[in-house]
Amino acid sequence: MTHHNCSALAFALSFVGLIAASYSSTPAAQDSTDTAARAGSFHHPSHKDHEPRRCQAPPKSVLFSDDFNGPDLNPIWQPSLPTALWRFDADFAFFQGASSFSFESLDGASVIRLHNILNNAERRGWSSAKSFEANAPIVYEARFNTLVQSSSTGIDELLEIWLLDANNPDNYDIVALSTPNFGSSRIFTASTSITNAGLDTAFHFDQNTWYRMVISGSPTKEVRASIYNDARTVELIGVNFGHDLSAYASGFRIGISQSMGQPGRPAPTDVALDSVRLTTPRIGTVIIDGCNSGVRNPVLPSGCAISDLVAECADRADRHGEFVKCVSRLTNDLQDAGTISGRQKGAIQRCAAKADIR
């Protein structure tokens, strides 16, 4: 699991626009109290050493996972995808069936290598036979290696991942990396048929390098397509699609594919796909020293959950009063940002007042 520096300054700049340095921290090793923090709660340790903590996102429920270990393809993958743009604001690519593939090993990982020879405006790949509910936050992520992109090895859309409406696959979100101009250019491209939003722009990525391709969203948060570094600590590029998961009222399927633009002749595509994951966070509630506030414990844009920031206040406070003041400042910021209501702020502050912090 990726760890994030739970800096309140970063939190303020990226989320509430406020500077709350009194509950800031720097990277350090986690201690045993993180087990409780991951569940949305913490118990203050008897020995206070003032070691700053790293925040950690709540545990995730895995809805689907495929590590492509072979020797056979997971039967969930079915050769079914709609006619769709090969790049945002480009023409349509027509589905030709399942991708050609082989199971191989790369950098110690088992991978499925997708390698096709495609004509103009063609696509090959799969979508999932299983559909998933869209009533909770989701992250659909593919870990892949770019291999060598060139006119003789691979061009155009080396990897595409999809969300598709379970009942109407013509409603979809798609994101891809592309190497047009016979493998010499580098493009990030993403589009949605639901709002017709998207982005097609130059984006440098390296040969023989691992990246993460992600589609994320929730019933109340816009669906976003992104590329991350392999450690999943930095979003390198991304775009919002102008709709949330409620657009998939009947649920959604996931997909993987490759496509070709208009090279004028049959041309190769090539990528190594290590894994795909579809996850949803288990959010829980903010619990302070056994007191359940009843307030949901979401992960903020900084990567920290509310309970992580409350736990920082406890780590850095020498006296109970300092802890209560820190939590008060934190919850005021959260209310100002619209993350919690006044009633929820009061519930967290009451639990903080009861906590055994000396």
Q: What is the pLDDT of residue 300?
A: 77
Pairing label, strands 285-288, 41-42: parallel
In this predicted model, what pLDDT tens digit does every residue of 67-106 receive, in sequence order? 999 999 999 999 999 999 999 999 999 999 999 999 999 9
The answer to whether position 3 is within a domain reads no
Q: What is the pLDDT of residue 124?
A: 98
pTM of the model: 0.69
The answer to whether position 205 is within a domain reads yes
Query: The domain that contains 196 carries what CATH number?
Result: 2.60.120.200
| Same domain for 270 and 145 | yes
Per cent of the chain over pLDDT 70 is 82
State which residues form the domain around 219: 61-281
CB distance 86 to 260 below 8 Å: yes
- Taking the C-alpha atoms of residue 56 and residue 303, their distance in angstroms, rounded to an integer, is 7
| Same domain for 124 and 250 | yes
| Same domain for 309 and 205 | no
3-state secondary structure of 157: strand
In this predicted model, what pLDDT tens digit does every residue of 119-128 receive, in sequence order? 999 999 999 9
The answer to whether position 213 is within a domain reads yes
Please indicate whether residue 20 or residue 80 has the higher confidence score (pLDDT).
80
Tokens found for residue 253: 């399927």
Looking at 281, 302, 334, which one is the last position of a domain? 281
| Same domain for 81 and 39 | no
Q: What is the pLDDT of residue 303?
A: 66
Looking at 281, 314, 331, which one is the last position of a domain? 281
Which of 295, 354, 304 has the alpha carbon at shortest distance from 324?
354
- Give the best-scoring range by mean pLDDT among 27-36, 44-53, 134-143: 134-143
Looking at 253, 281, 309, which one is the last position of a domain? 281
CB distance 137 to 296 below 8 Å: no
The answer to whether position 1 is within a domain reads no
